[in-house]
Amino acid sequence: MDTIILVAILFFWVFLFIGLYSWYQYQSKQALLQKHIKESIFYEEQHLRKKDSYFVKLVKRITKQADDFSAIGQRIDLFSESHEVEDWLKKSSFPLDLTVERFQGLKIVLALIGFGLGITFLLLGLPLSNFGVVLLPVGGYFFPIIWLKQKAKQRQDQLRYDLPDFLDTVSVSLQAGIGLDQALREVVKFFSGPLREEFSRFNQEIDLGVEREKAYRNLLARNDNPEFQTLIKSLIQGMTLGVPVATTFKIQAEDMRIIRQEQIKEKAAKASPKITLITTFIVMPTAIFLIGGLMVMNMFMGDNNLFGVFQK
């Protein structure tokens, strides 16, 4: 019986050692694979971006200090819940190396800075400093939220602007007999900005073995531009139904140019009432005020002013 117990204990330690060694090997290979994937996906994207200025580098260093306040920021998530912030960061391509946690902490940091400025202005006795104690912290809290939303909107607008020319170029390449992946690789080299970043990352995901449909879904998740989403959904549908990709790109390019023309006409139509409002409430009252002021000045200060008439 003692022999059986000793053998069981021996086998237990042997298998435990083998299991721990296998687990260590698994963790090491997983870490290497994750590092390889991260470098493969983001290497070209980082080189596509413009070199940061000294001011941007300074801001990035300051934002890193917001990590200490991330826990507080995640609890105080007014108008900035974590899933919303993650969506904004994806659509703006993570500006200033921000993460969800760092962004949440940045709100608190700016709010504290605003509160400190408000107290300083109050102690100095500056005008309206009582309001500054309340308004500056609120402004510091909401400033990064407004800025990130605007950044995401600008990136999506740039994507919309470059998309028709990109589709035309890809369509010509496909009609010449080049495959879709090769056409995308060659065409993106002649573009810059978000369009190049997105399709370069798409190509890298395909190279790493990601399913094509999933890579398309990732593009949809990172961008909410209606025209871009229409294109990607058409590609998914064409891949499922077997529609030629060149035809899809050609039709989408024509449709997007028509949509752009309609948008320009819509903006032009909206501009006329705005100009009328500006003319009615700003230009006309100013002109009347200037003319009336000159008439009054001429009545009292001119050669034939009222005082001279009465003296005569």
Q: What is the pLDDT of residue 43?
A: 45
Q: Which of 138, 64, 164 shows the shortest CA–CA distance to 105?
A: 64
- Name the residue range of residue 225's domain: 158-261
Average pLDDT of the residues in 277-302 = 76
Question: Is residue 256 one of the residues assigned to a domain?
Answer: yes
Q: What is the pLDDT of residue 143?
A: 92
Q: What is the pLDDT of residue 21?
A: 85
CATH number for the domain that contains residue 249: 1.20.81
Answer whether residue 50 shows pLDDT above 60: no
- Per-residue model confidence as pLDDT tens digits over 8-44: 778 778 888 888 888 888 888 877 776 666 555 544 4
Question: Is residue 67 one of the residues assigned to a domain?
Answer: no
For the ranges 6-10, 16-20, 50-54, 298-302, the maximum mean pLDDT occurs at: 16-20
Question: Is residue 293 one of the residues assigned to a domain?
Answer: no
- Per-residue model confidence as pLDDT tens digits over 106-150: 999 899 999 999 898 888 888 877 888 889 999 999 999 999 999
Answer whether residue 73 shows pLDDT above 90: no
Least confident of 196-205, 267-276, 300-309: 300-309
Binning pLDDT at 50, 70 and 90, where does residue 95 land?
A: confident
Answer whether residue 239 shows pLDDT above 70: yes
For the ranges 11-20, 254-263, 292-301, the maximum mean pLDDT occurs at: 11-20
Question: Is residue 21 one of the residues assigned to a domain?
Answer: no
- Which amino acid is located at 207 in the chain? D
In a 10 Å sphere around its CB, with 0-12 CB exposed, 13-18 middle and 19+ buried, how is residue 100 labelled?
A: buried
CB 245 within 8 A of CB 252: no
Cα Rg of the chain, angstroms: 32
Question: Is residue 107 one of the residues assigned to a domain?
Answer: no
Question: Is residue 273 one of the residues assigned to a domain?
Answer: no
Residue 184: HSE in the Cβ half-sphere, 13 Å Cα cutoff: 18
How many domains, in total, are found in the chain?
1
Rounded to two decimals, what is the model's pTM? Answer: 0.66
Distance from chain centroid for Cα 10: 59
Between 178 and 214, the more confident residue is 214
- Rounded to whole angstroms, the Cα distance separating 97 from 89 reads 10
Answer whether residue 51 shows pLDDT above 70: no
